[in-house]
């Protein structure tokens, strides 16, 4: 009964079905708010307009700004305005919202308003902080509570009209950020690739985390890894290889790498990931590092492996006055190195379900 032709047709449909169901497991949505067009940027990220996501608000243009930042959607007529994005129920996602005022309304009055996800307060957005740069961005990591995630901007003060420039949602592997409890979210405070020439994101980072560059004081120097390949699969959070290729170090083992936490004065619960990858083959075993919080050792010894990565997390309540230092242990013959860091504030999720309008 079954001719070979039929078998082929069945097989083709099955393959198509498989490839679609695989795609639907991976959320990678990039919305260029206020735009009606689709664009592909230099990172090969496809940005789509927002007309399929939202039926109200006003689209505005800032012709002088670069693509993505040259359109926005403002919400002058409602208190809360939400984007609802399809996700897998219960998946761990990274959501990023950006804001660039650019004097779109000719009022020279950058507004302040609130940002929420799934009914949780996320941030108070002060758009005057982005006057000189385009990257006023907010990032949160959390598990979804339904088949959509809702991102909302809310007016808090008279004449402060909320708006949004772009919105991105990316799936993470459920094994990542394993110390995050389901009733909490992570709010990004900083993610840096030390010694990198430029910021790193997709496609170098499959999850499109943005690893920014940072310059240290005169004593901190950049070092490049001699390893041709760095196996990032040795650690759960899959840092991009591009962020492991470089590190910072100090002139000698008596100098430590001091990391300044850009966090509030009062203590906040933090989730810090640190990444170490040895830069020279001969140094493997000769370098031994300890992490100190306020001069007290909290983790060590760390012997960075050559050609792969060691990751250390710290979950602790810290304040701006806390010092976080990477120190050579007495038995180390080499100064400390540090390749990358991620700093998140741990925030409890609202108990009630999201009530979005």
Residues in touch with ligand NAG (CB under 6 A): 44, 78-79, 105-106, 112, 126, 128-129, 147, 173, 175, 181, 183, 203, 231, 233-234, 348, 352-353
The smaller minimum CB distance to ligand NAG, of residues 272 and 346, is found at 346
Nearest to 127 by CA among 101, 107, 150, 153: 101
Closest contact distance (angstroms) between CB of 215 and ligand NAG is 21
The smaller minimum CB distance to ligand NAG, of residues 133 and 217, is found at 133
The smaller minimum CB distance to ligand NAG, of residues 228 and 352, is found at 352
Closest contact distance (angstroms) between CB of 124 and ligand NAG is 7
For the chain, what is the largest distance between any 2 Cα atoms, rounded to a whole number of angstroms? 81
In this structure, are residues 97 and 164 in contact, taking their beta carbons and an 8 Å threshold?
yes
The smaller minimum CB distance to ligand NAG, of residues 5 and 106, is found at 106
H or E element that contains 275? strand 268-276
Please spell the DSSP secondary structure of 189-245, one letter per residue.
EEEEETT-SS-B-TTTSTT---BB-----TT-EEEE---S--BGGGSTT---HHHHS
Closest contact distance (angstroms) between CB of 323 and ligand NAG is 26
The smaller minimum CB distance to ligand NAG, of residues 175 and 320, is found at 175
- Cα–Cα distance for residue pair 164/73, rounded to 1 Å: 6
- Cα–Cα distance for residue pair 200/351, rounded to 1 Å: 35
The smaller minimum CB distance to ligand NAG, of residues 109 and 147, is found at 147
Closest contact distance (angstroms) between CB of 64 and ligand NAG is 11
Closest contact distance (angstroms) between CB of 147 and ligand NAG is 4
Closest contact distance (angstroms) between CB of 78 and ligand NAG is 5
Nearest to 262 by CA among 324, 210, 195, 331: 324
């Amino acid at each position: 009964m079954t001719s070979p032709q039929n078998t082929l047709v069945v097989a083709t449909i099955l393959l198509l079905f498989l490839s679609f169901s695989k795609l639907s497991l991976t959320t990678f949505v990039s919305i260029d708010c206020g735009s009606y067009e689709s664009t592909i940027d230099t990172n090969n990220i496809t940005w789509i307009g927002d007309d399929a996501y939202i039926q109200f608000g006003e689209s505005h243009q800032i012709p002088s700004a670069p693509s993505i930042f040259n359109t926005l959607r403002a919400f002058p007529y409602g208190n809360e305005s939400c984007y609802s994005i399809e996700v897998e129920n219960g998946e761990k996602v990274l959501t990023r919202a950006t804001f660039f005022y650019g004097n779109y309304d000719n009022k020279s009055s950058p507004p302040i308003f609130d940002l929420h996800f799934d009914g949780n307060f996320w941030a108070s957005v002060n758009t005057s902080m982005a006057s000189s740069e385009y990257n006023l961005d907010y990032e949160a990591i959390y598990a979804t509570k339904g088949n959509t995630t809702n991102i909302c901007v809310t007016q808090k003060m008279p004449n402060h009209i909320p708006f949004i420039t772009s919105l991105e949602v990316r799936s993470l592997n459920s094994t990542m950020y394993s110390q995050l409890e389901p009733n909490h979210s992570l709010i990004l405070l900083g993610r840096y690739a030390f010694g990198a020439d430029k910021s790193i994101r997709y496609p170098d980072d499959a999850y499109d985390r943005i690893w920014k560059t940072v310059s240290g004081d005169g004593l901190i120097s950049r070092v490049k890894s001699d390893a041709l390949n760095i196996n990032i699969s040795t650690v759960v959070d899959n840092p991009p290889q591009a962020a492991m290729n470089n590190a910072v170090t100090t002139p000698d083992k008596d100098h430590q790498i001091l990391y300044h936490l850009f966090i509030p004065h009062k203590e906040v619960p933090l989730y810090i990931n640190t990444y170490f990858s040895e830069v020279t083959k001969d140094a493997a075993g000769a370098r031994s590092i300890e992490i100190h919080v306020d001069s007290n050792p909290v983790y060590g010894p760390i012997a960075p492996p050559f050609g792969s990565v060691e990751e250390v997390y710290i979950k602790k309540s810290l304040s701006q006055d806390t010092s976080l230092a990477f120190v050579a242990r007495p038995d180390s013959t080499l100064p400390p190195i540090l390749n990358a860091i991620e700093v998140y504030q741990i925030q409890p999720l609202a108990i009630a379900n999201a009530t979005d309008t």
